[in-house]
Amino acid sequence: MHRRHLTLAGLAWMSGASAAGRATPASLITALPPVAPGMAPSAGPAQVPASLRLLSEEFPPVNFSEGGHPRGLAVDIVQAIQQRLGQSLPIEFMPWARAFREAQDNQPTALFATARIPERESLFQWVGPIVQFQSTFYARADSRLRLRSLEEARRLQKVLVVRDWYTLVQLQSAGFHNLQQISDPVQGVRMLQAGRAPVFAAERITMPQTLAQAGLSPKAVKALFSFASSDGYIAFSRSTPASTVAAWQAQLAELKRDGSFAALHKRWFPTDTASR
């Protein structure tokens, strides 16, 4: 694992995500071939159990569905790994809390992109990192609120946070008792805009897309401060064969070695540095 920052005071953590129940037919989306150059398939057959499920959530631009097709940085990486292993497994999109539960069932499952944090270390087998998250407190653009520390945030009347997100685990571990759990980030920015809470603890790299999904201006909210950075991984269930996990990690390492990973990252995040 790379860059495991575990200090909440110094404030870089690793984070994990979640997976849930079996998707309806409408939410079962077949993975498409990767589009980045230099992604040659491997010579040998894939080491993959026939029942392996790939779970994800609507979390653009990291992973999301559009026009019935899976898209995003994590999707492109998963598809590239599959292509090199000679695989073409479908990707199921579902609410995060549901996906997180299902990824812990007794069935070979991979959930992405999942923040790798100490509280989740023993729940999964990990392949990555593939992306870096940054937990950030947001307020309405017209708010006069200023936050400079977690201690100040703990004294607020209410902090919105998405249920089962790694951000929730981070804040609970930091002693927060003023958290209001919500179902998804779009609900969070809408509640923030309506004045239902002074602050929303959310994810920096996805905030522009979250605002767009909510029909809000890119300037509707402002970042107060970022309190943790976390690496996102592909999280495999404990029931997934170790040989499968090792094969995926080896192909991810090859993507990074030959420059394909950096090219995919630049496609989705032109100004950010790719995970090592």
Task: State residue 164's pLDDT score.
Answer: 87
Q: Which CATH architecture has domain 135-227?
A: 3-Layer(aba) Sandwich (3.40)
Model confidence at 13: pLDDT above 90: no
Q: Which amino acid is at 63?
A: N
Which of 32, 29, 52, 19 minimizes the C-alpha distance to 247? 52
CA distance 189 to 211: 7
Which residue's structure tokens are 């992109």?
113
47 pLDDT band, cuts 50/70/90, is low
The answer to whether the beta carbons of residues 143 and 156 sit under 8 Å apart is no
Task: State residue 191's pLDDT score.
Answer: 98
Of the two residues 21 and 158, the one the predictor is more confident about is 158
Q: In this prediction, what percent of the chain has a pLDDT beyond 70?
A: 82
Which of 43, 26, 30 minimizes the C-alpha distance to 78? 30
Q: So where are the chain's domains?
A: 135-227
Which of 160, 152, 150 minimizes the C-alpha distance to 226? 150
Weakest-pLDDT range from 5-14, 86-95, 184-193, 267-276: 5-14
CA distance 168 to 185: 12
Weakest-pLDDT range from 45-49, 110-114, 191-195: 45-49
28 pLDDT band, cuts 50/70/90, is very low
The predicted-structure confidence for 110-143, as pLDDT tens digits, reads as follows 999 999 999 899 999 999 999 999 999 999 999 9
Task: State residue 5's pLDDT score.
Answer: 36
Q: Which amino acid is at 80?
A: A
CA distance 162 to 60: 15
The answer to whether the beta carbons of residues 73 and 131 sit under 8 Å apart is yes
48 pLDDT band, cuts 50/70/90, is low
Q: Which amino acid is at 69?
A: H
Task: State residue 274's pLDDT score.
Answer: 73
Determine the length of the chain. Answer: 276
Which of 233, 173, 169, 161 minimizes the C-alpha distance to 199? 161
Task: State residue 49's pLDDT score.
Answer: 60
CA distance 42 to 24: 32
The answer to whether the beta carbons of residues 158 and 101 sit under 8 Å apart is no
Weakest-pLDDT range from 40-44, 77-81, 208-212: 40-44
Whole-prediction pTM: 0.77
CA distance 16 to 231: 8
Model confidence at 239: pLDDT above 50: yes
Q: What is the mean pLDDT of residues 244-270?
A: 97
Q: Which residues sit opposite 28 in a β-bridge? A: 92
59 C-beta neighbours (distance < 10 Å), count:
25
Q: What is the mean pLDDT of the chain?
A: 85
CA distance 98 to 53: 14
